[in-house]
Structure 1
Amino acid sequence: MERGITIAAVAASFGRDLDFDLARIQTLIEQARKAGAGLLVLPDAALGGYLPDLRNPSPEALPPALEPDHELIGKVAAAAAEMVVCVGYCELGEDGVSRYNSAVCVSGDGVLGRHRKVHLPRGEEQAYSPGNAFRAFDTPVGRIGMLIDYDKTFPESARSLALDGAGVLACLSAWPTNISNRAPRMSQDRQSRLFDLYDRSRAAENQVVLASANQTGALGGMRFLGQAKVVGPGGDILARTWAKAGLAVAEVFVEAEIAQARRVLDHLSERRPDTYLR
């Protein structure tokens, strides 16, 4: 009989102080462990913080770029121990110059998977180079795929991971309120509505489980939404934090719930790719 997996998605604030970020991550790992979590999804840029300005990102204000084998990633893995943890950071490219908005999935056994953000919104391309692939990977809690921020705006991103066998999508974000036309209340903000819409749609259209983490608070001119959540394969929100910092925690029987969602209508097997425009 399948054992349920407790999934925790984080809403929290992170900045440029790497020691502070690591300490906060270690605290969140302990909180998730007490909640029984087997999978913890942290926000994008949890190590080093996000960009303070998307309209004109200054080279002097970029987050610190870390090598893929940086000691901080090893410390997150050591803290994770038996847990699977996804965390975002600014990755230094192989050429020693390029930067990538990246995520790494770790446990006490080391690195389980990596992802470089493929879709860069306007402004971010001045700071980062794009990734070029979506690949799922096996973990002790099942097969997972990762998306970063704007990646989830594109249905093809999540669909690619679902077709590669991912039963859980880990979405790591530093998703802000609307930059050009900020609403007086966060619940009325256009980006707030889209953030929820994309989370639920990507889960429902692929009939997979989705764990969405996001930053909170503010950095420079950016104000982040929070709204961490765990979404079931029918698009139903199983747990959420709203705008506050905290953990959205839900126990999910991933294989059973996906099988139930696909019992009558199986979206992946009923696709007609030969009819779609490329």
Structure 2
Amino acid sequence: MIKMATTAINCVFDKKKNLEKYFKYIDEASANGSNLVVFAEQSLQGYLTSLVKMESSDFMYQYKNAEIAGEGECFKAIMQKAKEKNIYVIFGYTEKDKEKDWVLYNSMALVGPEGLVGNYRKVHNPFDELHIYTPGNEFKVFDTSIGKIGMLICYDKSFPESTRTLALKGAEVIVMSTAWGYDTFETKPEDIDKDRAFYIYDLYDRVRALENCCYFISANQVGITGKGNYFGNSNIVNPRGEIVATTGTKEGIVYHETESIQEDRYDAMHVGFFGLNMIKDRRPIAYAKIAEPKEFSADGEWL
């Protein structure tokens, strides 16, 4: 049996306090027999105070609190906890380049009983993220004892190429950490079904799982942090595109257990969608255009 967990936490701009919440939920997940627990984008340091109006203090805070993958104080503490509890942990953080001290990345790490398993740098940086974080340029899949795990961050899931690339590289579980907020700061949790940002978020989670016949796990921040108002709804979506666990709009942790990730994926490929296999039935020869390096006009048209 494999048991997966995802969390929605309210973050603060204090690594030690966020780390305390990590440990609380890692302990709880381990006590419940979970093999994997996931945390949100930038949940170690806290996300930018504003995505559309960057303050110089944002960069200084992130720079001061960034950690080198596998070497930072908090990073090492999380690895030690994962080893102690015999569990895989995925979390979002600000990464400092080991060779270039001034270069930062919006990253997520996969650690487990064996230590650092994988590190991923966000490829698609929106708005003012581009003024702080250097984009990554590769979607990676990592081998674990529970299956092959691919990772992406927030805006990455808006691009079908990202998850399809991971699926074609063999990912059986795709994990997406995010800081995804309401369409307006004033939106209340009870009005979430009317919120455009939530509609898009929820749709992407289900579609990315369905079209790639794999598990899709999202982990979102929740509540107010800085000028962001995040709605949670961290989900576990099965390969049929069905949400099998969600945190809703409150801070917490949820679980999903399955006898076999691989069997669930096989079932989705060969039975779930009228027996159609959206991986096998691809025709890459017809898709060559999207792989060509091209320049675009301001409105997105080919030049």
Given the alignment of the two structures, is residue 109 of structure 1 paired with residue 114 of structure 2, yes or no? yes
Report the Cα distance in structure 2 between the residues aligned to 1:123 and 1:176, rounded to whole angstroms: 15
Partner of 2:180: 175
Given the alignment of the two structures, is residue 31 of structure 1 paired with residue 28 of structure 2, yes or no? yes
Of residues 134, 140, 157, the one that matches 1:129 is: 134
1:185-216: CA deviation from partner (whole Å, max 9, x where unpaired): 22311111111111001000000001111101
Of residues 14, 18, 21, the one that matches 2:18 is: 21
The DSSP-based 3-state class of the residue aligned with 1:262 is: helix
Partner of 1:187: 193
Report the Cα distance in structure 2 between the residues aligned to 1:59 and 1:139, rounded to whole angstroms: 39
4+ runs deviating over 4 angstroms: 181-184
Report the Cα distance in structure 2 between the residues aligned to 1:79 and 1:157, rounded to whole angstroms: 30
Deviation for aligned residue 1:107: 1.0
Partner of 1:47: 44
Contact 1:86 1:105 in 2 (8 A): yes
Indicate the structure with greater helix content: 2
Report the Cα distance in structure 2 between the residues aligned to 1:35 and 1:153, rounded to whole angstroms: 32
Given the alignment of the two structures, is residue 262 of structure 1 paired with residue 269 of structure 2, yes or no? yes
Equivalent residues in 2 for 1:142-161 (5 A)? 142-161=147-166
Alignment root-mean-square deviation, CA:
1.3
Partner of 1:204: 210
**Structure number with higher relative contact order (C-alpha < 8 Å, ≥ 6 residues apart):** 1
Contact 1:136 1:164 in 2 (8 A): yes
Of residues 29, 54, 59, the one that matches 1:57 is: 54
Report the Cα distance in structure 2 between the residues aligned to 1:254 and 1:88, rounded to whole angstroms: 24
What amino acid is the match of 1:132? Answer: N
1:81-118: CA deviation from partner (whole Å, max 9, x where unpaired): 21011011001123111111000000132111110000
1:134-172: CA deviation from partner (whole Å, max 9, x where unpaired): 010101211100111111111111111111101001111
Partner of 1:235: 241
Using a 3 Å threshold, how does the CA distance of structure 1 residues 216 and 183 change in structure 2: closer, same or farther? closer
Report the Cα distance in structure 2 between the residues aligned to 1:18 and 1:49, rounded to whole angstroms: 8
Of residues 138, 145, 150, the one that matches 2:143 is: 138
Using a 3 Å threshold, how does the CA distance of structure 1 residues 143 and 154 change in structure 2: closer, same or farther? same
The DSSP-based 3-state class of the residue aligned with 2:201 is: helix
Report the Cα distance in structure 2 between the residues aligned to 1:272 and 1:182, rounded to whole angstroms: 45
Partner of 2:296: none
The DSSP-based 3-state class of the residue aligned with 1:88 is: strand
The DSSP-based 3-state class of the residue aligned with 1:103 is: strand
Report the Cα distance in structure 2 between the residues aligned to 1:169 and 1:193, rounded to whole angstroms: 20
Equivalent residues in 2 for 1:216-255 (5 A)? 216-252=222-258, 253-255=260-262
Max Rg structure: 2
Consecutive unaligned residues of structure 1, counting only runs of 5 or more, are none
Contact 1:43 1:172 in 2 (8 A): yes
| TM-score for both structures, normalised by structure 1 | 0.95
The DSSP-based 3-state class of the residue aligned with 1:202 is: helix
| TM-score for both structures, normalised by structure 2 | 0.87
Report the Cα distance in structure 2 between the residues aligned to 1:123 and 1:46, rounded to whole angstroms: 18
Contact 1:59 1:127 in 2 (8 A): no
